[in-house]
């Protein structure tokens, strides 16, 4: 059977969604950046959890900032790696990450630094034995490009990290690139390896939200957000939280 390049790309993206997301018990936290079929910017971020502390979370959006909060503050144990600003804007740049480095990036951008230099002092998370990868992304609307980063533990020492950066300026409508914290479940959890994976971004914001939420493992998924940004200023955001806010 002969395939066109377009068919091969779609087949690859669909296969990646099936293998790395739908059939994966625990890809961990994930970022997807790209464009939908209407050529609108799409940003997806989700969190997953295995422990009661990491599952005790919701997404909230206020004053232009998306952040994690405890669903039940009375049950919060250690907030250091689970409560953070997820997404912020700096001019026409949209930043997303899985930790406190959202603020590090945004503060650096405001000072004139690049996305890359903002992250030079960041390291992987100090959560032995997993040493979770720090992932982040940026949509540069003025440059019509996206960039993704992952900061993982060094092969030689837990005191050092390896920084990986990826920039894309040619993204066909209907596709995005994804990094997650893990390759799957395990003890310790295996860190994400290799380049960002190509995934489909089919439909509008509501369809994308439902598709990805349904694909994530029902036992471990916690929250998901999708943001859709048009070139003329349209901006929509949709959130799914598995748990309700308690004790507020």
Distance between first and last Cα of the chain:
59
Confidence at residue 1, expressed as pLDDT on a 0 to 100 scale: 39
Question: Which of 46, 36, 44, 45 is CA-nearest to residue 171?
Answer: 36
Q: Compute the CA torsion angle 183, 221, 226, 73 (nearest 10 deg).
A: -120
Confidence at residue 247, expressed as pLDDT on a 0 to 100 scale: 45
Question: Which of 69, 70, 164 is CA-nearest to residue 115?
Answer: 164
Q: Compute the CA torsion angle 92, 210, 133, 103 (nearest 10 deg).
A: 30
Angle at 237 between CA 64 and CA 89, to 5 degrees: 35
Q: From the centroid of its chain, how far is CA 124?
A: 15
Give 4-33 pLDDT, tens digit per residue: 688 999 999 999 999 999 999 999 999 999
Q: Going along the chain, which residue ranges are E strands?
A: 30-35, 41-48, 57-62, 65-70, 85-90, 93-97, 134-140, 145-153, 161-168, 175-180, 197-200, 221-229, 235-241
Q: pLDDT at residue 3 above 60?
A: no
What is the pLDDT averaged over residues 218-224? 97
Average pLDDT score, the chain: 94
Confidence at residue 14, expressed as pLDDT on a 0 to 100 scale: 97
Query: CATH says 5-241 is which class?
Result: alpha beta
- pTM for the structure as a whole: 0.95
Give 167-212 pLDDT, tens digit per residue: 999 999 999 999 999 999 999 999 999 999 999 999 999 999 999 9
Please, which pLDDT band fits residue 75 given cuts at 50, 70 and 90?
confident
Confidence at residue 4, expressed as pLDDT on a 0 to 100 scale: 65
Would you say 38 and 216 are in contact if contact means Cβ atoms under 8 Å apart?
no
Q: pLDDT at residue 48 above 50?
A: yes
Give 112-168 pLDDT, tens digit per residue: 999 999 999 999 999 999 999 999 999 999 999 999 999 999 999 999 999 999 999
Question: Which of 52, 51, 31, 3 is CA-nearest to residue 95?
Answer: 31
Would you say 32 and 177 are in contact if contact means Cβ atoms under 8 Å apart?
yes
In whole angstroms, give the CA distance from residue 183 to residue 26: 8
Instruction: Please give the structure tokens belonging to residue 167.
Output: 């920039």
In whole angstroms, give the CA distance from residue 100 to residue 97: 8
Residue 240 CB coordination number (10 Å): 18
In whole angstroms, give the CA distance from residue 26 to residue 129: 16
Instruction: Please give the structure tokens belonging to residue 165.
Output: 């950066």
Least confidently predicted of 90-99, 100-109, 110-119, 239-248: 239-248
Please, which pLDDT band fits residue 245 given cuts at 50, 70 and 90?
low
């Amino acid at each position: 059977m002969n395939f066109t390049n377009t068919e091969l790309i779609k087949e690859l993206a669909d296969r990646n969604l099936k293998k790395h997301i739908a059939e994966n018990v625990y890809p961990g936290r994930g970022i997807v950046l790209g464009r939908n079929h209407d050529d609108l910017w799409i940003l997806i971020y989700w969190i997953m959890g295995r422990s009661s502390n990491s599952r005790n979370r919701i997404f909230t959006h206020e004053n232009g900032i998306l952040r994690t909060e405890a669903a039940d503050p009375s049950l919060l144990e250690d907030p250091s790696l689970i409560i953070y600003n997820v997404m912020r804007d700096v001019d026409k740049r949209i930043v997303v990450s899985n930790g406190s480095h959202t603020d590090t990036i945004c503060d650096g951008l405001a000072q004139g630094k690049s996305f890359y230099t903002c992250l030079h002092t960041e390291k992987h998370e100090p959560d032995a034995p997993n040493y979770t990868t720090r992932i982040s992304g940026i949509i540069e609307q003025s440059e019509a490009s996206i960039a993704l980063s992952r900061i993982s533990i060094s092969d030689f020492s837990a005191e050092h990290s390896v920084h990986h950066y990826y920039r894309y300026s040619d993204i066909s409508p209907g596709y995005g690139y994804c990094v997650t914290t893990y390759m799957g479940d395990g003890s310790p959890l295996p860190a994400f390896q290799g380049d960002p994976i190509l995934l489909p971004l089919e439909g509008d914001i509501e369809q994308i939200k439902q598709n990805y939420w349904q694909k994530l493992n029902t036992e471990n998924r916690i929250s998901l957000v999708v943001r859709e940004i048009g070139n003329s200023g349209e901006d929509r955001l949709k959130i799914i939280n598995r748990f309700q806010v308690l004790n507020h």
